[in-house]
Amino acid sequence: MSEERPGYSLKAPGASGRSLHLPGLGPFPPVDEHLVEPEVTRDEIIDGRRVVAFPAEAPHADQHDRLQYVLHAHVAPGYVSAVDLLTRFDQKSDFASDACVRREGVDPQTGRRHLEDLAFEVVSVQREQNVSEKVPRMHRRGVRRIFAIFLKSRQVCEWSPEGQGSWRPLGPASSIEDSCLAKPLAVAALLDAAAADDAVIQALAAKDNPELRRLEDAARREKGRVEGIATSILRFLEKRGIAVSPDQRQEILSCADLDRLDRWLDRAALAATADDILQE
């Protein structure tokens, strides 16, 4: 949600007076040479018009949180994700996307941070006008791809600059593939909490996350121990000549409780029947 706030003066283009010229796009001020004070005000400037970025209601806030959660996990090495990153998009525009991905470090051509490669907007009915004004300016500045999550329709779209520009819907089973991402980002993960958790785990696995690898190794070791104890119980009973039915064998082999398996192993030395071992 936002409101216009008239009656202000734009800052000068910058203390240095510098601007960046991109071929075919015209002159642009540095991305971090701002018209408003970051971290001091909620104000943004869109084509010379000052708007106020208000706090969100639950649907918007929840969606923003899920977007940040999923996007951060998917970012490829060499890139960084950010939220509410204020960017000077042109001489009369200084605003932030809800979330974005950019190359990490400093752009050697400008000596400043890199411009966003991907930008994401969470769009409520109240924000549709502002977003429709922001997107063409982001595109002209050089943001490669721009996505929107529309709350009312629960739809994810990508901006297409063809013609007058329009939003292209992405199917719920589709994915966003890009060199900025370690693996394709499932559209469903942006709309559903359970799908978001699954996508984050898969993205961490794709990046060979050390902690996830440690947990997987520990799980494999525990599984190996479980299988080893179950096999030992069956071999012990076999050597003692104690009959084990197919159902009892399956119960022993399918048990994943180490404490229970240890109890069964202790009983296997004295039990007269397999039932004596398995009784709890």
pLDDT digits (tens, 9 = 90+) for 253-278: 999 999 999 999 999 888 899 998 99
Please say which residue of 206, 241, 264 terminates a domain: 206
Q: Which two tokens stand for residue 97?
A: 């996307």
The CA distance from 49 to 113, in Å, is 25
Please say which residue of 206, 224, 256 terminates a domain: 206
Check whether 175 has a pLDDT greater than 70: yes
Check whether 23 has a pLDDT greater than 60: no
Check whether 180 has a pLDDT greater than 70: yes
How many domains, in total, are found in the chain?
2
Amino acid at 199: A
Q: Which two tokens stand for residue 226?
A: 């479980």
43 in any annotated domain? yes
pLDDT digits (tens, 9 = 90+) for 198-250: 999 999 999 998 998 898 888 888 889 999 999 999 998 998 999 999 999 99
Are 164 and 268 part of one and the same domain?
A: no
Residue that the structure tokens 């400093």 belong to: 106
34 in any annotated domain? yes
pLDDT at residue 12, as a whole number: 40
pLDDT at residue 26, as a whole number: 53
Q: Average pLDDT of 158-174?
A: 92
Q: Which helix (H) or strand (E) holds 81?
A: strand 79-83
Q: Average pLDDT of 68-74?
A: 97
HEC letters along 196-250: HHHHHHHHHHHCCCHHHHHHHHHHHHHHHHHHHHHHHHHHHHHHCCCCCCHHHHH
Q: Which of 115, 153, 111 is nearest to 137 (CA)?
A: 115
Q: Average pLDDT of 15-29?
A: 50
94 in any annotated domain? yes
Q: Are 120 and 135 in contact (CB under 8 A)?
A: no
Q: Average pLDDT of 186-192?
A: 97
Are 67 and 173 part of one and the same domain?
A: yes
Task: Dihedral sign for Cα 100, 106, 112, 115, please.
Answer: negative
Give the pLDDT band of residue 17 (cuts 50, 70, 90): very low
Please say which residue of 176, 206, 236 terminates a domain: 206
pTM reported for the whole predicted model: 0.72
pLDDT at residue 82, as a whole number: 96
